[in-house]
Amino acid sequence: MRITPPAERALRKGHPWIFDQSITDIGHAGAPGDLAVIFDKERRFQAIGLYDPTSSIRVRILQVRQPAIINMNWFQSKIEMASRARASLIKHNTNGYRLINGENDGLPGLIVDRYADTLVLKLYTPAWVPHLKDFCDALAKVSPAAHVILRLSRSLENQTSLRYGLTDGMTLTLQTPPNLILFTENGLIFESDPINGQKTGFFLDQRDNRLRVQKLSKGKSVLNVFSYTGGFSVYAARGGAKEVVSVDLSVPALEAAVRNMAHNNLTTAHETIAEDAFEVLARMASQKRSFDMVIIDPPMFAHSEKQIPVALGAYRKLTRLGLGVLRQGGTLVQASCSSRVDDESFFEAIHKSAKEAGRKLTEIERTGHALDHPIDFKEGAYLKCLFAATG
Ligand code: SAH
């Protein structure tokens, strides 16, 4: 195929996607997973990628400049690179991490998370289906696991005819995986439920921020809002918090949070509240309940460009509500995982809201992704987090 000059320029700069409207000429209609080869005007090779007629991201680039044969060996070399980049995590007593972060590790449209002996492979495009055997063979060579569980993105789940019998949550290995997977993160034991849980069972991307929270927790009362299975709560408890409160809408997530405390023999006072976070924060403020540290790590708010203003409004509201239960001199930790909301707008929203609330906010640190979530292109970045002290 041929593509527009701007798309060619983006490709040369390393952008991993070609959108449907950038395609100017195509040899013949392709099926999902066909290899698309992009040529320039002089018929010189530009790139090769996975073709997906079902998505506006029509081609996900695998290889640029030099032609290559896309087979098990090619996948293996990419997985080896990704695996090497994570090698240092083992030294930190961590066997739960993202082994492959999609486009950012040169394998677009697919992620692989490791939880101890289990790998969770998530596909975001049917284009991977025809290559799955080669990919899994390569994975088994580089990063063997007792169990490989397949997850399908929502869009893929709806495309029954393109799945060739693959189902969300199925096991690709011989043995039935255990119901409960335990793994370690910075020496702490956590549960993951890759089939019924959110994402692939755990929010691995917050590992470094959790360690930061641990270091700031000694002797403090900590409120963990949008706690999920208590990642931040467990770290706060290990850091010596005197009290931890976890708030989340999901009852099973909070039950897991209680178990995660127990897996680590932590006996810190831990209260769980299964209610809407906005309501809980407002009620606590009216009851004059306050904390030394408030962590706010909500789900993605902007699912499209149009929703960016709404998302920023929600972040501002959460800052205001969070500050409403944060003592003077306390620590605010607020994160965003909306890739469409850029860093500057997010941090600005927090500061604006603090100002409106008449609270002084002194930044301690702005943080982003951990080592196993490398970012290789603009759209790949999503996580940002502010640590700030309040006046
Ligand atoms: N901080 C967590 C990840 C949070 S993900 C960690 O470190 O693991 C976002 C969480 O927000 C999910 O667990 C989801 O159940 C919860 N959630 C979504 N909307 C909510 C709401 N309105 N009130 C409370 N929790 C909510």
pLDDT at 379: 85
Q: In this predicted model, what pLDDT tens digit does every residue of 199-240 receive, in sequence order?
A: 899 999 999 999 999 999 999 999 999 999 999 999 999 999
Ligand 1 in reach of 277 Cβ (< 6 A): yes
- C-alpha pair distances (Å), 171 with each of 73, 166, 175: 23, 10, 8
Which atom belonging to ligand 1 lies closest to the Cα atom of 232?
A: 7
Cα of 87 vs centre of ligand 1, distance in Å, is 30
How many separate helices (H) and strands (E) can be counted in the chain?
10, 19
199 Ramachandran zone, left/alpha/beta (phi>0; psi -120 to 50): left
Ligand 1 in reach of 203 Cβ (< 6 A): yes
pLDDT at 12: 93
Ligand 1 in reach of 256 Cβ (< 6 A): no
Tell me which of 248, 272, 294 to substitute to probe ligand 1's pocket, judged by most ligand atoms within 8 Å of the beta carbon.
Answer: 248
* Ligand 1 atom 13, closest CA: 228
What is residue 292's three-state secondary structure?
strand
Ligand 1 in reach of 97 Cβ (< 6 A): no
Cα of 360 vs centre of ligand 1, distance in Å, is 27
Kindly tell me the sign of the dihedral angle through the C-alpha atoms of 86, 226, 233, 336. positive
Cα of 346 vs centre of ligand 1, distance in Å, is 18
Which atom belonging to ligand 1 lies closest to the Cα atom of 299?
A: 9
Percent of the chain clearing pLDDT 70 (strictly above): 100
Which atom belonging to ligand 1 lies closest to the Cα atom of 279?
A: 23
Identify the weakest region by mean pLDDT among 109-118, 156-165, 344-353, 357-366.
156-165
Cα of 180 vs centre of ligand 1, distance in Å, is 21
pLDDT at 162 > cutoff 90: no
Residue found under tokens 């695998």: 62
pLDDT at 9 > cutoff 80: yes
Identify the weakest region by mean pLDDT among 50-59, 108-117, 161-170, 313-322.
161-170
When pLDDT is averaged across residues 279-299 and rounded to a whole number, the result is 98
Residue (of 244, 218, 220) closest to 233 by Cα position: 244
Percent of the chain clearing pLDDT 90 (strictly above): 91
Q: Which two tokens stand for residue 174?
A: 């011989």
CA angle 120, 126, 131 (to 5 degrees): 70
Cα of 26 vs centre of ligand 1, distance in Å, is 44
pLDDT at 248: 98
Cα of 68 vs centre of ligand 1, distance in Å, is 43
* Residue pair 115/96 in contact by the 8 Å Cβ criterion: yes
Kindly tell me the sign of the dihedral angle through the C-alpha atoms of 268, 217, 184, 379. positive
pLDDT at 391 > cutoff 90: no
Ligand 1 in reach of 299 Cβ (< 6 A): yes
Which atom belonging to ligand 1 lies closest to the Cα atom of 206?
A: 7
> How far, in Å, CA of 316 to CA of 78, rounded?
40
Cα of 21 vs centre of ligand 1, distance in Å, is 36
- Which is more confidently placed, 191 or 376? 191
Ligand 1 in reach of 296 Cβ (< 6 A): no
pLDDT band (50, 70, 90) for residue 361 = very high
Which atom belonging to ligand 1 lies closest to the Cα atom of 250?
A: 15
Cα of 298 vs centre of ligand 1, distance in Å, is 5
Which atom belonging to ligand 1 lies closest to the Cα atom of 337?
A: 5
Residue found under tokens 């101890």: 116
Query: What predicted TM-score, i.e. pTM, was given to this entire model?
Result: 0.95
Residue (of 19, 52, 59) closest to 162 by Cα position: 52
**Over the range 331-365, which residues count as b (16 or more CB within 10 Å of their CB) and which as e?**
bbbbbbbbebbeeebbbebbbebbeebebebeeee
pLDDT band (50, 70, 90) for residue 157 = confident
Q: Ranked by mean pLDDT, which of 132-141, 175-184, 191-200 comes out on top?
A: 132-141
pLDDT at 93: 96
Ligand 1 in reach of 279 Cβ (< 6 A): no
pLDDT at 164 > cutoff 90: no
Residue found under tokens 């008449």: 358
Average pLDDT score over the chain? 96
pLDDT at 23 > cutoff 80: yes
Question: Any idea what DSSP says for residue 373?
Answer: S
> How far, in Å, CA of 178 to CA of 188, rounded?
20
